Structure 1
């Protein structure tokens, strides 16, 4: 019986809270000591990995335990084929470490953890440098999009970065990964269902030849998401929050659909706002008295319309600050000057604003989403 397992059993018998991560660390230090490695050196390397993951603002709050499980899934040497729960983490980690016998092998195991950590952090920060320079920014942007409202995206991205060497192939797989994430989010899939979809995608990739990966991803999208017809119906009544995912979604529509192939530079999401055409407080604030009349002072109905797709667009933050409290006519004067196509079109397509207008534009955008991310 190992010392780490003895710690586990003793604390478990006493009903004490256990830290699977600390048990893994104990196991590693124990095995390193048995083969003559400097225990203090191994401890420092482990703690450096843990600190880098814990202190990085972009990495999940479940780090480093979740990061380590992602490493073990991605590395086919360990044959970990599915999500690892907190309960199973120590057993899975110990089984992986047991594949490394002797000082040289344990050093290799620690080096692998360090290398994976470098790439894991790069994925979260959008600073992956593996791909050619002219495609690097686009690929990192797509990785950020995939991680929006998707806490288990890193396991997929780490597998792709580890196994795909060409920028074009990476673009294609990221396009499909984002299609899966977009559809799951828009159909409001339960968190566990969303999570399991990410691990199923990795499993499909591991189990198939690389030449079949795009087909496998497409098949999974069809299996795990609703039909295009159902998705369009959902979107007609779906309310979207003011979130980074929503801004990514609209930017993708703008760049990859409305301006497909024509825009050389991508919109900087840090310099645009999610614009509610009819302000969120249209019927609850006196400063929006003109808007209240537009919606017949029906606050209850407006609450179901204000965050629908039809009432949303993107607008440069400098423009948003100028028209935030304006009437529809004042907003349209600013929209006409926008560099964003979906926003420029609003004045021409919609001379006035109201419930019916939001419904109409929602149907249009819902169809555009299905056209771009359809199956």
Structure 2
């Protein structure tokens, strides 16, 4: 008979917090992250549900609390693959009820929190749930031991995020429940133990548990691809001598340092560095089926995740910290971060991690990469073509030929020609590029000294799109064709650090300069706009001269000759 490898059963909580299970949260799991809103919502929902139930709890409708996925070969030992947030929160809830209620119920709840030792069986008292080792001493002392909540609530020391969540949730649930009379609390406790159910899925090994975990959580539960990969990778590291715990901490430290969203993006970038092609699946599948970091998880974390995350952080924060060309390299990062796509990022991460100690090489590469990314953006190159271009770039970085004449890092003549057509044309109509191009010009004209940290940057026409027929604008530019050719070009555009004012658009030139372009301190935040303010008139001749000068500056900046 084929050995059964998976079991799934529905149990009331009284049959979950019992001697059949000794729950343990493995070190590779995320820290406890439920916050007050989630914890109090659980309690509120239970109390609200009970209001509509019969007086006799035995006749109440069942209440489903979700599922648990456990690695449980033989015996009670159970590693929690999925469900740690619920188990931890339910233990906190039972601890709070135990503190508030009378002795009979308190003793019953104590049995659900603690497994009592048996002298005849030579067993000791032990908690039914062991949290991650980083939190277990704290959790045991203040939650699982009796009569310690007051001590917990009076703590005045720095706690980890997970410990802070434990404290805040216990305090919030305590405040919520202590308002109720004993009868309501007894009713809640009876229902919690006998009327609240979970589906417990058990499997004897980590591989099948991971498959279940992945299937369940790829269907929309609140887990990210990196949560699934963390389980997949760190579970393959030996638990001896705290090794798994140390690598799990490395993983979590990186996630905390760069933020959860960026951490997920990082894995997409690593996927590109490793596979060098557009994904035809998803990040989890690509790592499992193609990259396979679990074959040598320590090497993956030490040699790839750590250095790539450090490079990614430096790029995002524009914070390269070498000894030479620091400001120039960070300036390239600043302009790269204004590109309207992230397809350039894998190549940037790879190069910075590979040559972090060669500042001269980094400076040359990132100036060329910023140029390439900017021109691909200006030319509105399609995503598949961008991905293919950067994949080829990663390949030549590997080969050490990124600066060769045929390198994809360089622009070809047709790309330069196309970019010139864009910047010489009605650039205002290409909404995705106009701010970036004008800021690049402004920076160059100000010798790179300008800082663009304004919460809002907009682009405004100097000569209006629809001038009044009796205005000075019409006298300066009576030709409809001239107006059509000039109105959207670089030479007729200004930068503003404010929301656009449609009424001000048609102001006469002098009023527009003083009331719209010229803020109260007497000058604009942008050199380009200050140049406009100094002009006495705004004729086609002025616009054309400015257009020529600005285009020539961009030709110089991006070497478009």
Structure 2 CA distance for aligned equivalents of residues 342 and 184 of structure 1: 24
Shift in CA distance, 144/185, structure 1 to aligned 2, threshold 3 Å? same
Greater fraction helix = 1
Range moving further from structure 2, 135-144 or 187-196 = 187-196
| Contact 1:184–1:194 (8 Å) recurs in 2 | yes
| Contact 1:4–1:23 (8 Å) recurs in 2 | no
Shift in CA distance, 358/189, structure 1 to aligned 2, threshold 3 Å? farther
1:11-41: per-residue Cα shift (whole Å, max 9, x none)?
59xx945964343122123212577756565
Match among 518, 535, 539 for residue 353 of structure 1: 539
Q: Cα offset for 1:44?
A: 4.7
Would you say 1:89 and 2:270 are equivalent positions? no
1:24-71: per-residue Cα shift (whole Å, max 9, x none)?
12212321257775656554543443344445xxxxx5x433302434
1:76-135: per-residue Cα shift (whole Å, max 9, x none)?
xxxx240462725335434442442xxxxx445434424432331221011121343xx3
Matches within 5 A, 1:135-174: 135-148=325-338, 149-164=340-355, 165-174=357-366
1:330-371: per-residue Cα shift (whole Å, max 9, x none)?
5678899789775566588884335x7656644553344234
Match among 427, 436, 443 for residue 239 of structure 1: 427
1:191-243: per-residue Cα shift (whole Å, max 9, x none)?
33334333332222112x2xx422357654335x7343333223333434798
Q: For the pair shown, which has the larger CA radius of gyration, 1 or 2?
A: 2
Shift in CA distance, 267/222, structure 1 to aligned 2, threshold 3 Å? same
| Contact 2:459–2:496 (8 Å) recurs in 1 | yes
Could you say what the CA RMSD is over the residues aligned between the two structures, in angstroms?
Answer: 4.7
Match among 346, 366, 371 for residue 551 of structure 2: 366
Q: Cα offset for 1:143?
A: 0.7
Matches within 5 A, 1:1-375: 2-3=207-208, 6-7=211-212, 16=219, 20-33=225-238, 37=242, 42-55=247-260, 63-71=262-270, 74=273, 80-83=274-277, 85=279, 87-94=281-288, 95-100=291-296, 106-112=297-303, 113-132=305-324, 135-148=325-338, 149-164=340-355, 165-207=357-399, 209=400, 212-215=401-404, 219-223=408-412, 226-240=414-428, 246-254=434-442, 256=444, 263=447, 266-270=449-453, 276-278=460-462, 283=466, 306-314=487-495, 327-329=508-510, 351-353=537-539, 358=543, 361-373=546-558, 374=560
TM-score when normalising by structure 2: 0.48
Structure 2 CA distance for aligned equivalents of residues 96 and 174 of structure 1: 30
Q: What secondary structure does 1:64 align onto? A: helix
TM-score when normalising by structure 1: 0.68
Structure 1 CA distance for aligned equivalents of residues 497 and 251 of structure 2: 44
Give the length in aligned residue pairs: 338
| Contact 2:494–2:529 (8 Å) recurs in 1 | yes
Q: What secondary structure does 1:116 align onto? A: helix
Unaligned runs of 5+ in 1: 56-60, 75-79, 101-105
Greater fraction strand = 2
Structure 2 CA distance for aligned equivalents of residues 93 and 188 of structure 1: 30
Shift in CA distance, 32/82, structure 1 to aligned 2, threshold 3 Å? same
